[in-house]
Amino acid sequence: MGRLVIVSNRVPVPEKGGIAPAGGLAVALKAALEERGGIWMGWSGKSSGDTDPGPLSLQEQGNITYALTDLTGKDVEEYYFGFANRVLWPLCHYRLDLAEYGRKEMAGYFRVNRFFAHRLAPLLRPDDIIWVHDYHLIPLAAELRQMGIKNRIGFFLHIPWPPADILFTMPVHEEIMRGLAAYDLVGFQTDYDLENFAGCLRREEMGDALGDGRFIANDKVFKGGAYGISIETAAFAEFARKAVSHSTVNKARLSIEDRDLIIGVDRLDYSKGLTQRIDAFERFVVNNPGHQRKVTYLQITPKSRSEVPEYEQMQRTVAEQAGRVNGALGTVDWVPIRYMNRSVSRPVLAGLYRLAKVGLVTPLRDGMNLVAKEYVAAQNPDDPGVLILSRFAGAARELKGALLVNPYDVEGTANSLGRALNMPLDERRERWRRMMDYLLEHDVSRWCDDFMADLKAA
Ligand code: GDG
C-alpha cells in the first residue's frame, strides 16, 4: 500500500504536548495518514519577506512527515490574499460584486502552485497517493503532471462550485477548469456543486459528463463525485455531554438565567449572512412581544482574514448592528444579543451548543457548514434543541430534520425562530433523531474512506 500525501494551504501540525483537541477534518486526515504513513505538506503561514523562502521544514511525528514551506511577501499578497481570497472565495460564494480580479494576483496564484509542485515532487515515491485540498491549490495537479509525476492525484473542494454564468466572469476560468481536469478524482461537497461543475464544462464545450461519475475535458477522462464532509459525530456528542459541566459553560448558564439561548457560531465572513441574521432576530423580537426579555442570542464570531479590507469593514458593520439592536430593544436587565468577536475553546463551544435551544445557521452560501452538524451532535437526546438552517448551505442537502430557511427572507427566518422556540418536545425529538442517525452513519471517517476508495479506483 502506497503512502498518502496530503497537500493543503495550511497544515494542522500537532503541537508538541498540545492538549487542544483538533477539529474533525484534521483528526480524520491524520488518522488516514497514520494508517498508511505519509506526508502533509503546505504553507507554514509565515512570510520570508523579500528574500526567497528557505528549504522545506520537515517534522517527523511517528510515520507522518509534516513538510512546511514559507512564502515570500509577494506570494502571500498575490496568491493567498489576492487570487484565493479576493477572487476565488467571493466567486465561489456567488459574490461577483466582491471579486477583484487582477492579472498580477492571477500570475501569483499559478506561480505559487508551481512552487508547491517543485517542492513536493522530490519527496514523492511512485506509489504514493496524493490528495490536494481546496481552492488555493486547484492548479497543483497540472503542475505536477508537467513535471512528469504520474501518481494518482485527487482533489477535494471545501467551498461551493458556482454555476457557469458566475464562474465565467473570471477571465481565467478555462485554466481553472483545465486545472481540475488534471486530477484523477475531483470531489465536491454536494450533488448541486457537481451539477454546476458539469454545467460549466458543457457550456464552454470544454467537456461533458459521461455518466457513472466520469467526466471528459481537455481530452482527458477523470472522475467527479459529491462527498459531504462531516464531523466525528459520536466523539463530539460525548464531548458535549461532558462539556456542560465546564465552569465557563456553567457561568453562561447562570448569566442567561432561565432565558432561551439561541446560538450562532461563524468565522467573521460575508458568506455567513450575519447582518441578515441579526435583522431576523430583531424582527422576531419586535414581532413577538411575548418572547421579549425571554431570549438571549449569543453570536460567537472569531475574526478571520482581517487583512482583507471587506473583512475589516464587516467587523465594524456587524458590531455596530448588534450594538444598535441592543440599544433599541435592551432593557436595564436584558441584553438581547451577546456578540463576541473572538473564539472560545472547543469544550466551551460544545457545552454552549448543548445549552442552546436553537442553533441559528444561516449562511448566504456555504460549501457544507460544520457548525450545523456540531450543533446537532451536541444536543441532549431527551430534550434536543432545534436547528434553523439556510437552504444555501451544503448541509441542507443532508440535514432533513432542520427548519430550512432562505436567509435573504428576514421575515421568514424571524418566523422560523418563533416556530423553533415553540416547538413541542415530540417534534424536536423526531427531527433531531433523523439528523443524528444520519450523522452517526455519515461521519468524517466515512467521508475520508469514501473519497480514498474512489481515488484508489479512479
Ligand atoms: C470551510 C467551508 C465547510 C468556529 N468558531 C469557533 C470554532 N469554530 C469552528 C467550528 C467549525 C469550524 O470552525 C467552522 O467550520 P464551517 O464548516 O462552519 O465553516 P468554514 O470555516 O467556512 O469552513 C465550509 C468547511 O470548510 C469544511 O469543509 O463546511 O462550508 O466554508 O468546526 O466549530 N471553534 C472553536 N472556537 C470558536 O470560537 N473552538
* CB of 167 sitting under 6 A from ligand 1: no
* Helix, strand or coil, per DSSP, at residue 263: strand
For the question of residue 366 being annotated catalytic, the response is: yes
Low-confidence ranges of the chain (pLDDT < 50): 19-21
Closest residue by Cα to atom 39, ligand 1, is 346
Q: What is the model's pLDDT at position 23?
A: 64
Nearest atom within ligand 1 for CA of residue 371: 18
Best residue for ligand 1 mutational test, from 272, 368, 399, 439 (most atoms within 8 Å of Cβ): 368
Domains in the chain and their CATH numbers? Answer: 4-230+444-457 (3.40.50.2000), 233-441 (3.40.50.2000)
Per residue in 417-448, pLDDT tens?
999 999 999 999 999 999 999 999 999 999 99
CA-CA distance, 133 to 130, in Å (whole number)? Answer: 10
Q: What is the model's pLDDT at position 22?
A: 59
Best residue for ligand 1 mutational test, from 25, 267, 339 (most atoms within 8 Å of Cβ): 267
Nearest atom within ligand 1 for CA of residue 229: 28
Interval between CA 235 and ligand 1 midpoint (Å): 17
Cell output for 22: 483538533
Nearest atom within ligand 1 for CA of residue 395: 29
Q: What is the model's pLDDT at position 29?
A: 87
pTM: 0.96
Q: What is the model's pLDDT at position 85?
A: 94
Residue found under cell 487542544: 20
Q: What is the model's pLDDT at position 305?
A: 78
Interval between CA 103 and ligand 1 midpoint (Å): 31
Q: What is the model's pLDDT at position 2?
A: 87
Q: Can you give the C-alpha Rg of the chain in angstroms?
A: 23
Interval between CA 151 and ligand 1 midpoint (Å): 31
Cell output for 322: 448588534
Contacts of 232 (CB under 8 A, 6+ apart): 24, 27, 28, 443, 444, 445
